[in-house]
Amino acid sequence: NAGVMQNPRHLVRRRGQEARLRCSPMKGHSHVYWYRQLPEEGLKFMVYLQKENIIDESGMPKERFSAEFPKEGPSILRIQQVVRGDSAAYFCASSPTSDGEQFFGPGTRLTVL
Amino acid sequence: GIQVEQSPPDLILQEGANSTLRCNFSDSVNNLQWFHQNPWGQLINLFYIPSGTKQNGRLSATTVATERYSLLYISSSQTTDSGVYFCAVGGGGSQGNLIFGKGTKLSVKP
């Protein structure tokens, strides 16, 4: 059973460009979570999705950030008009239930020049 | 929201030593996990332990939910144990997200 997959693993963008981060959950998992880790800090929750629905986006910045988890295909975290402060590691996790064990992908390291 | 505190923030050990890492949380939880973030940044699941005691090789963990703390024990530490250990808790339901502590940075010297 393949683990959580994220791509790309590294992403470099210039200020003002768009960043698209992809996450494929483990097989059989319908709950997806996105977290952000700034340098030298712990992980902070951003958004929780279940197929086609956003359950909780309380940790997501109000502007420029959006997330989706379509019926078919991976979950996407989209950051528009990136700024240097968006540079971070973005982790995706999946779980079979809302309070079950979460399994994390390898992360996408975003660098904004 | 739930607060998670980990101690100690930093720990330096000689190879072969034992250690105990602590995680305190401020409210009842229905999910508690321990992770190891290795020097390459990957998050490794160690334990899913909302209550009780579990063991996996040289590592074991105990969560006392009624007293709102969890302990991670590392015995006979090895240099490959180096990295940051995170405790994360979840309140469940629509609050399925995990709340992470700031971590314990462990360095094991040969």
pLDDT of residue A61: 93
pLDDT for residue B30 is more than 90:
no
Choose the weakest-confidence range: A35-44, A82-91, B48-57.
Answer: A35-44
Neighbours of B81 (CB within 10 A): 19
Residue of A nearest to B85 (CA): A42
- CA distance linking residue B37 with residue B81, whole number of Å: 10
User: A1 pLDDT exceeds 80?
Assistant: no
Does the structure show a pLDDT above 70 at B92? Answer: no
Instruction: Indicate which CATH number applies to the domain containing B86.
Output: 2.60.40.10
Q: Give yes or no for B17 touching A (CB within 8 A).
A: no
Domain extent, residue B92, equals: 4-109
The pLDDT tens digits for A33-66 are 999 999 878 899 999 999 889 999 999 999 999 9
Identify from A43, A54, A69, A111 which residue to disrupt to test chain B contact, counting B C-beta atoms within 10 A and taking the largest count. Answer: A43
Those residues whose C-beta lies under 8 Å from the C-beta of residue B50, and which sit 6 or more positions away, are B29, B30, B31, B32, B63, B65
Task: Answer yes or no: do A44 and B100 touch at CB < 8 A.
Answer: yes
Tell me what the mean pLDDT of segment A4-22 comes to. Answer: 97
Higher pLDDT among residues B94 and B73, named by residue: B73
Q: Does A41 touch chain B (CB under 8 A)?
A: yes
The pLDDT of residue B89 is 95
Query: What number of other Cβ atoms are within 10 A of residue A43's Cβ?
Result: 27
Q: How many domains does chain B have?
A: 1
Taking 80 as the threshold, does the pLDDT of residue B78 lie above it? Answer: yes
Residue type, B110: P
Q: Which of B31, B95, B101 comes nearest A56 by C-beta?
A: B95
Are B91 and B26 in contact by the 8 Å Cβ rule? The answer is no
